[in-house]
Structure 1
Amino acid sequence: MSEKEIRVDAREIRKSFGDNEVLKGVSFTVPRGSATAIIGPSGSGKTTLLRTLNALDVPDSGVIRVGDEEVDFSANPGKAELRRYRAQSGFVFQSHNLFPHKTVLQNVTEGPLVVQKRPAEQVRSEALALLDQVGLANKSDAYPYQLSGGQQQRVGIARALALAPKVVLFDEPTSALDPELVGEVLSVIKDLATEGWTLLVVTHEIQFARGVSDQVLFTDGGIILEQGPPEQVIGDPAQDRTRQFLQRILNPL
């Protein structure tokens, strides 16, 4: 695979919180236009791994290239370098993180207007198109409290896409939702994968990971224990620990 075909290239990423080493030299690549699912038990480092890709959690060491920006975190990058790096990706939080005092449309346009300082009419037009894409064209003037959890999460997705990122990062996007609302959010993510966006999704939805992702990373104990296509990692895992985890998730009783 050529360098241009790789959207994310992470090498020897380490991250500790106090004495707790959460990531222990993690390395992986994500091809452009692919969907990667990150699965594993709670506390295995999934969310921290995702957050390092947007420098929400700045790694202690290692090198990551996201889109057009590569950062050597061992060299203590400055604020300007981190800002350029963060601009390569959009982040969808599990708890929506919408501005409660702003309308749906204002939430989606905030980043392009304030951070990217793009023309207002262009931003508004693109935001309305994104809201239509996620099935919320009729909710542009609503406030977050007027929306269901699933609708709020779809606004969060539109907000991330409005920044035109090279990579979209999803941190357990359905974990805060009622079970009946999970499908509508997963459907939007599936459509994005079909359209060729580069996606990384931390998820407990194993069947979604099996059906939508191009590759699966199984994390445990701060390392990637197994990675490969879903038919391999989920369908025929090589590691006993992966098999044990999937057995508990897929057959909980």
Structure 2
Amino acid sequence: MTSSPPLLRAHGLHKSFGDRSVLRGVDLEASQGTATALLGPSGSGKTTLLRCLNALDVPESGIVSIADVEVDFDRLPASGRGREAILRGLRAQSGMVFQQHHLFPHLTALQNIIEGPVTAQRRPRDEAVAEGRALLAQVGLGDREDAYPSQLSGGQQQRVGIARALAITPRVVLFDEPTSALDPEIVGEVLAVIRDLASQGWTMLIVTHEVRFAEAVADQVLFLDDGVVIERGTPAQVIGDPERERTRRFLRRVLNPGVE
């Protein structure tokens, strides 16, 4: 019996900003229904990798494929409508949850969630509203659909952001340090939602410094340093028994701050 091909695959991704090379030949595979945690120090390329998978940042070279959509960035047109159509096709495959939730301040929680399905995907409004309400209930905010972002806590706003990403029915959900901007007291409520999504079989990539959370939720862990994946494997391998001294040093500092 042969295994199914990965739902998401990236090969040879290179991305620079000016003279600074941020990604230097990154490879990544993720199977459907799995959670992948991306660990590493600040500036290692984790966020840029997510943004390249979603084509928010366009790599100089490499290939990204999600389901049956593949983009070879070496052959991407330099400009024009053809280029934009290709990038839109890739972006449509994934939903992004940012460090800052980026909700529209003039829209209610429900209106923020249905904006993408109604405006971008042209789905019937009644259908989008029903699904939006179900998503709000799923993230524990069924009673806050009429609340504006200013009336919600940071954790609640981030949970609306998660529901908004799910509303477009993406094949992959990309989380860019979803708890980094939150007060420590409310980090747990957002992590609980992500844990629930993992149990439901969503395919997720999660950039996080919450190492113990990654250890509990992820099927695979990638450790990035200086734009390169230097270690990959199961949480037991990468977090529990890392091979590389750079990984061990990072984990010591994150898990035991102030202790070398």
TM-score by length of 2: 0.96
Is residue 104 of structure 2 the alignment partner of residue 105 of structure 1?
no
2:64 maps to amino acid: I
- Distance, in Å, in 2 between the alignment partners of 1:95 and 1:14 is 26
Moved over 2 A (4+): 1-5
Structure 1 stretches of 5 or more lacking a match?
none
Pick from 108, 118, 121 the counterpart of residue 116 of structure 1. Answer: 121
Pick from 134, 144, 147 the counterpart of residue 142 of structure 1. Answer: 147
Aligned-pair Cα RMSD in Å: 1.1
3-state SS, counterpart of residue 202 of structure 2: coil
1:3 shift after superposition = 7.7
1:65 maps to amino acid: S
3-state SS, counterpart of residue 240 of structure 2: coil
Distance 1:204 1:136, change over 3 A: same
2:197 maps to amino acid: L
Q: Which residue number in structure 1 is paired with residue 178 of structure 2?
A: 173
Is residue 245 of structure 2 the alignment partner of residue 240 of structure 1?
yes
1:5 shift after superposition = 4.0
Distance 1:55 1:42, change over 3 A: same
1:68 shift after superposition = 2.2
8 A contact 1:47–1:171 mirrored in 2: yes
- Distance, in Å, in 2 between the alignment partners of 1:110 and 1:155 is 12
Is residue 120 of structure 2 the alignment partner of residue 89 of structure 1?
no
3-state SS, counterpart of residue 6 of structure 1: coil
TM-score by length of 1: 0.98
Distance 1:95 1:222, change over 3 A: same
1:4 shift after superposition = 4.4
1:233 shift after superposition = 0.1
Structure 2 stretches of 5 or more lacking a match?
78-82
Is residue 66 of structure 2 the alignment partner of residue 66 of structure 1?
yes
- Distance, in Å, in 2 between the alignment partners of 1:222 and 1:106 is 38
Deviations 1:45-93 (A, max 9, x none): 0100011010011111000101221000011241111111100000001
**Number of aligned residue pairs:** 253
- Distance, in Å, in 1 between the alignment partners of 2:89 and 2:256 is 44
Is residue 223 of structure 2 the alignment partner of residue 218 of structure 1?
yes
% identical equivalent positions: 62
